[in-house]
Amino acid sequence: MSETFDFIEVKVPAKPEYVGVVRLSTSGIANRMGFAYDDIEDLKVAISEAITNAVKHAYNETGEGEITIGFGVYENRIEVMVADHGGSFDLKKVKEDIGPYQEEDSVEDLREGGFGLFLIDALMDKVEINNKYGVIVLMTKYLHENEVGLNGDQISTTQ
């Protein structure tokens, strides 16, 4: 059985001033789906992080370009894809660099931009990164309330 879903695509210039615009779209879509307040806030941070990375990436290359954001709206989850079309980056190195602050780290060693991917990973249920053609971040968050709702909605026909 194939799963049906709605798809929403947003394209913005790769500039910091548009991160907030996509954040508002995200909030609207997640709210319509029935996500809880805290989950919507998590989504807003995770998606902003992915777009911020894409903007920085675009600036390093040419200073222009655009970012494509795709929202897959499913019955039980939202899938968000953030893609830039710049060159690829060293994914292995990026993965090694992510993590929370550890007590043995000195303040001087803290990277000012080091928490973006870590937060995406912490706030979403599933994260995949593909960097074959540009960089694509695919993030999934489940609508937990809905699972409960589906079971609760079953109407008993026995009298």
Partner 1 sequence: MNLTIDVEHNGAEKIVSLSGEIDAYTAPKLKETLLPLTQESEATVIVDLQQITYMDSTGLGVFISALKSTKEYNNTLKLVNLQDRVYRLFKITGLTEIIAIETDSTVRGGM
Residue 130's alpha-carbon distances to 7, 83, 114, 143, in angstroms, are: 20, 9, 19, 24
Of the candidate spans 46-54, 62-70, 135-143, 146-154, the one that interacts with partner 1 by CB under 8 A turns out to be: 46-54
CB 26 within 8 A of CB 79: no
Which of 70, 119, 140, 145 forms a contact with partner 1 (CB under 8 A)? Answer: 119
- 28 sits near partner 1 (criterion: CB under 8 A): no
Q: How far apart are CA 44 and CA 157, in angstroms?
A: 42
Nearest in space to 87 (alpha carbons), one of 117, 119, 65, 113: 65
- 16 sits near partner 1 (criterion: CB under 8 A): yes
Residue with tokens 């789906």: 33
- 41 sits near partner 1 (criterion: CB under 8 A): yes
Q: How far apart are CA 83 and CA 54, in angstroms?
A: 7
- 153 sits near partner 1 (criterion: CB under 8 A): no
Nearer to partner 1, 59 or 74 (CB): 59
Which of 10, 45, 94, 127 forms a contact with partner 1 (CB under 8 A)? Answer: 45
Amino acid at 48: S
- Residue 26 CB, nearest distance to partner 1 (Å)? 12
Which residues of the chain form contacts with partner 1 (CB under 8 A)? Answer: 16-17, 19-20, 23, 38, 41, 44-45, 48-49, 51-52, 55-56, 100-103, 107-108, 110, 112-113, 115-116, 118-119, 122
